[in-house]
Structure 1
Amino acid sequence: MPIATDQDRPMPWWATRRYLALVSVLLAIPLSGPAIPPLTDIFGHLARYTIVARIDASAYLHQWFATHGHLSGNSGVDLIAAWFGPIVGIIPVTKLALIATAVLTGGGMLLTARAAHGRLPPTAPFALPLTFGMPFQYGFLNYSLSVALVFPAIALWLRLRRGAVRAAVFIPVGLVIWVTHLAGWGLLGLVLFAIELATARRDGAPWWRAVIACLPLVAPVAILLLPSGGSSTIGVSHWFDGSLKLFFIVAVLRDQNAVFDIASAALLVALVMFGIRGMDFRMEPRLACAAAAVFAAFLVMPGMIMGSALADMRVLPYALALAILALSPTSTAQRDLTLLAIAALAFLGLRLAVQTIGWSRTAALQREQLAALDHIPQGSRVFVLVTLPCETAWRSHRMDHIGLMAIVRREAFVNGVWDMPSSQLTVHRPDATGFVYAGSQTLFPAGCRYDAQYDLAHALATLPRAAFDLVWVVDTPRTAWPKDRGLRRIWSGDRGVLYRIPHTPI
């Protein structure tokens, strides 16, 4: 009697297309509440989108900023904001892009698992919380959107047979992902190369067949070689730091609750270890090879590439996701499979519930600080100082760039903008040299400052006051507020205060 395979059995509820779609949509829940999702870098992105959209019509922005559009491998959400922002609004369109990013990433993960296994394994939803890994939490919007395109592309690659059709399809796919974010394109290339290596080994074919198969993905290289085709600075720094990489592994699901986040990460790592050791799980070879390749890249990558910080950390959640997606249970008992499907769905639901509550609380704290915007005159020059915990602290209110909302709401100048080639934005403030770019707005505790002397008192003492109209101190306890006779308080909240510099006109 022939042995029944997984494909011969009736389709269980956790392997249906309806289940795949519904589970993917669940990832929109944490993003649906706050008007501005509380991600660390999101305020900087909103400020840049606003400057690009309004600079020609604004009476103020053109004084301080200049924009220079060029084809860049870091333009995904920027293009969406440019196209739809004038119709929908910058903030709503950014939120919708984030919702689409989360849902598409989760759906792409499930499609990848189904394409690799032939049927969606009951364990696949365990990978979905990694959608909201550290890159998403930091607010790396373009990179996260590129990853949202990478996973459906992996599924499509697995579905299509090698040949002219797949090659023709993946030339534009590679270009679109490169324009969205260069690192996403690199991730796609590495994953597909690893998949082809595993396939070649399975078929007894030479390794270079994988190189030939991936040639359609190299089209963006021609753009990179053009004089205007991207950044002219290829900076690489922050090489191997073992303790930091270990922290990234532990903190792969870092949000607001250290115990819960570490326990969740440990559960996922344990599942992968069970699969590696063949304990109740097997691993699909192609996805396992891809996971190993991405994890190896994480280990050898530097922390800074082309001005993008935390470059190595960005790939780690997706190495773990690929490993989880490679898993399938060895048991064929329907009861065991159903329990696994329920456990995976419960894990996802618990992660989403805790994250939704945490984000709601963080967004409420941010709204309290943003009340200061009502007291900032249009076109003001605002010097912002934000008190942050040490970067090793697990929980953060994510106020790092919140001051840049004065650009969005008040068309103001604010210090703390990003100075990097891919930002397509330059700042002209020679009167405020040293108090313009990212870092000038952040205040850390004494034990973890990048500049040991840079505290609130030092910043105010050395600030060129003629270059600014207002000083906005954010998320700082009252006991630490400045007692400077040269400042006049015009607004205060529980942990924030706004001062006018009286000798300058507003």
Structure 2
Amino acid sequence: MDGDSTKPAWWQTRWFVLAAACLAAAPLLWPDIPPLVDLLGHMGRYRVQIDHGQHPWLAEWYGFRWSLIGNLGVDLLVEWLAPLLGIELTVKLVVVAIPALTAVGLLWIAREVHGRVPPTALFALVLVYNYPFQFGFVNFSLSMALALNAFALWLHLARRGAWALRAVLFVPLSCLLWLCHVFGWGVLGILVFSAELIRARDTDRSWPAAFVRAGVQCLPLALPCVMMVMWRGSGVAGETGDWFNLRAKLMWLSGILRDHWLWFDVACAAVLVAMLYDGLRSPFLGWSRSLGLAAGLLAATFLLLPRILLGSAYADMRLAPYMVAIALIALRPTAAMPWRAQQWRALAALALFAVRMGGTTYSYYLFDRSYDRELAALDHVPTGARLVTFVGTECSNSWTLDRRDHLPGIALERRLAYSNDQWSMAGAQLLTTRYVKAGAFIADPSQIVTSARCPSEWSRSIDRSLATLPRDAFDYVWLIGPPPFDQRLLAGMTPVWRDGTSTLLRIERPPPAGK
């Protein structure tokens, strides 16, 4: 521990933790809908979830069945809160809480491990808006925020000597964390094992004895293993592949802050890397052994994880920012670091955090304006319309994440219209699509179109999509920022709304015979 009896510095006070949590939440306060890529598709699923059979056409299009899966965090909160607050407000409140809870968890861990929050820990706050969060992995991100706070609570109870309370409390907590998302439970296990292994070594136990002791201490976290067997043992499979793709892993590391502007995101990430490098060479910085070990185990897990795990994509990418965050809060000043140098580091970290939150706020403002323009089309979509949507994109992997890929989900959420962007993975999602008349346009990623088919990607050109669309299955076609295409393919469709290249078209039906 590196605490002393002097008055806490400004960054070590509860007021600062509260201010950091508020600043972390600030970018999400303006947008009506948090501009996170996959979140909009999830919001469509939430509408089917809480419909409870009120609209028979939804039951015709989608199946929904509750089951025990390790991916239910926001789904359960929506089930409880949406009847009172509505889906959109519920989702916004939950998503706003995620970066705030992440910030609190990081600072709380740092305090429990080091005695007081070291100034270097403030650099980790930059990572509360990380690439997995921007991608809209909200169940995962919520579970990670809760896992950080759960680990801090684990350390707090250990510091108080409340061993029995901790053992009893973490049996249900670990199960709830697994329900939120299995990844959060797994990371909590790594953090706890690292802490208990170093604690056992500090009591002069040998390494083998320390491993056994740490394993015993982790037993309160073990019950979700049974839940995992029940989930995956019920015939649920899922693809696993793309192992040891080092090129992709380097891309995930360089893009841990990927959002809008390449130069800004990479420059901020470079500052964090420089901070870690300084920790390896500077005589003024040391490391917590338990957090250092945890960061090392997370790094090993990151290297060993495939890109696709049990049907879940970007498994390794999700871990990268949290691995870096744990490494950052493992740093602490040595006795040789002057007090003024500590203050300057804290100010530098706070400045980076504030600049990053300012940039994210502006980024979200721009995405929110884009949403407002595109979603104006829904004013012209009747309730229950059979809507097929095509969202234009490029084959090249642009740094700026296009937040429109799952805008069709909002048509389902607001207008109860068909959305061809929904995921349909039995056993991995609660929702399945069953509108067979839609054919190849039944589910994600049929909504994504390009000017030509992209190599090594699942995609259709917009010309092919419009040419092969089963028109008798749909009432409207919504084109969102489409690439150039053959306008003759719109024959038999009437535009009812247009903004730039985005268009909503009604499919005209021939009159019945004899009319």
The answer to whether the superposition gives a TM-score over 0.5 is yes
For normalisation by structure 2, the TM-score amounts to 0.93
Aligned partner letter, 1:165 = L
1:44-74 deviations in whole A, cap 9, x for unaligned? 1110111111141124312211210122211
Tell me if structure 2 keeps the 8 A contact 1:399–1:475: no
Letter in 2 for 1:459: S
Correspondent of 2:47 among 45, 50, 62: 50
Q: Deviations over 1:263-286 (max 9, x none)?
A: 111110111122123443111111
Map of 2:371 onto structure 1: 366
Alignment of 1:59-78 (within 5 A): 59-78=56-75
Q: 1:466 aligns with which of 468, 472, 475?
A: 472
Are positions 1:262 and 2:259 aligned together? Answer: no
Q: Does the 8 A contact of 1:146 with 1:184 survive in 2?
A: yes
CA distance in 2, matches of 1:298, 1:235: 18
Pair 1:172–1:342, CA change in 2 (3 A): same
Aligned to 1:138: 135
Aligned runs of 1:95-114 on 2, under 5 Å? 95-114=92-111
Does residue 289 of structure 2 align to residue 285 of structure 1? Answer: yes
Matched, 1:342 2:337: no
Cα 1:262/1:14, change in 2 over 3 Å: same
* Amino acid in structure 1 at the alignment position of 2:166: R
TM-fit CA distance, 1:193: 1.4
Please state how far the C-alpha of 1:231 moved relative to its aligned partner.
7.0
Counterpart residue number, 2:21: 24
Residues 385-406 of structure 1: per-residue CA shift (max 9 Å, x gap): 1012346210133111111211
Distance in 2 separating the partners of 1:119 and 1:246: 33
Hey, what's the Cα distance between the residues in 1 that align with 2:459 and 2:217? 54
Structure 1 contact 252–265 (Cα < 8 Å) conserved: yes
Match of 2:149 among 148, 152, 173: 152
**Matched ranges for 1:72-471 at <5 A:** 72-161=69-158, 163-205=163-205, 206=209, 207-226=211-230, 232-330=236-334, 331-390=336-395, 392-420=397-425, 421-444=427-450, 446=452, 448-450=454-456, 454-471=460-477
Take 2:2 and 2:356, find their aligned partners in 1: how far apart are those partners? 33
CA distance in 2, matches of 1:373, 1:149: 36
Contact 1:384-1:414 at 8 Å conserved across structures: yes
Q: Do the aligned residues in 2 keep the contact of 1:67 with 1:426 (CA within 8 Å)?
A: yes
Q: What percent identity do the matched residue pairs reach?
A: 38
Q: 1:498 to 1:227 in 2, by over 3 A?
A: closer
CA–CA distance in structure 1, aligned partners of residues 90 and 430 of structure 2: 20
User: C-alpha displacement at 1:42, in angstroms?
Assistant: 1.0
SS state of the match for residue 389, structure 2? Answer: strand
Conserved 8 A contact 1:223-1:229: no
Hey, what's the Cα distance between the residues in 1 that align with 2:165 and 2:252? 39
Deviations along 1:447-504, one digit per CA (max 9) or x if unpaired, are: 7455587200011111111111111111226x44733213222211013111111127
Rate the CA distance shift 1:434–1:85 in 2: closer, same or farther, 3 A: same
Native 8 Å contact 1:369 1:495 kept in 2: no
Please list the CA deviations of residues 407-447 of structure 1 after superposition, one character each: whole Å capped at 9, or x if unmatched: 11111112121012222112211212221111111124547
AA partner of residue 151 (structure 2): I
2:450–2:459 CA contact under 8 A, matched in 1: no
Amino acid aligned to 2:96: I
Q: Distance in 2 between matches of 1:230 and 1:31?
A: 39
**Aligned pair in 2 of structure 1 residues 391, 276: CA closer, same or farther (>3 Å)?**
farther
Give the paired residue count: 501
Offset, 1:8: 2.5
Specify the SS of the correspondent of 1:335.
Answer: helix
Cα 1:5/1:118, change in 2 over 3 Å: closer
SS at match of 1:488: strand
Deviation at 1:9, TM superposition (A): 2.3
Q: 1:475 to 1:28 in 2, by over 3 A?
A: same
Q: Spell out, residue by residue over 1:309-365, the C-alpha distance to the aligned partner (whole angstroms, 9 max, x if none).
A: 101101111000000111112344221111111111111000000000011001111
Aligned mates of 1:390, 1:408 — CA distance in 2: 29
Q: RMSD of the TM alignment (CA)?
A: 2.0
Report the AA paired with residue 146 of structure 2. Answer: L
Give yes or no for contact 1:490–1:499 (8 Å, CA) kept in 2: yes
Q: Give the 3-state SS of the residue equivalent to 1:255 in structure 2.
A: coil
Q: Mean alpha-carbon deviation: is it higher for 113-122 or for 208-217?
A: 208-217
SS at match of 1:160: helix
Query: Could you tell me how far apart the structure 2 residues matched to 1:453 and 1:43 are?
Result: 20
Q: Would you say the 8 A contact 2:39–2:138 is kept in 1? A: yes
**SS of corresponding position for 1:340:** helix
Structure 1 unaligned spans of 5+: none
Contact 2:393–2:450, Cα closer than 8 Å, also in 1: yes
Structure-1 separation of matches of 2:510 and 2:76: 38
For residue 468 of structure 1, what is the amino acid of its counterpart?
Answer: F
Tell me how far apart the structure 1 counterparts of residues 235 and 341 of structure 2 sit (CA, whole Å).
52
Pair 1:195–1:276, CA change in 2 (3 A): farther
* Distance in structure 2 (CA, Å) of the matches to 1:313 and 1:123: 24
Secondary structure of residue in 2 paired with 1:356: helix
Alignment TM-score, normalising by the size of structure 1: 0.95
> Which has the higher mean CA deviation after the structures are superposed, 227-236 or 44-53?
227-236
Structure 1 residue 259: Cα displacement: 0.6
Aligned residue identity for 1:460: L
Whether contact under 8 Å (2:498, 2:504) holds in the other structure is: yes
Distance 2:446 2:296 in 1: 39
CA deviations on 1:169-191 (whole Å, 9 max, x unpaired) are 21111111001001111111122
SS of aligned partner of 2:286: strand
Change (3 A) 1:169 1:391: farther
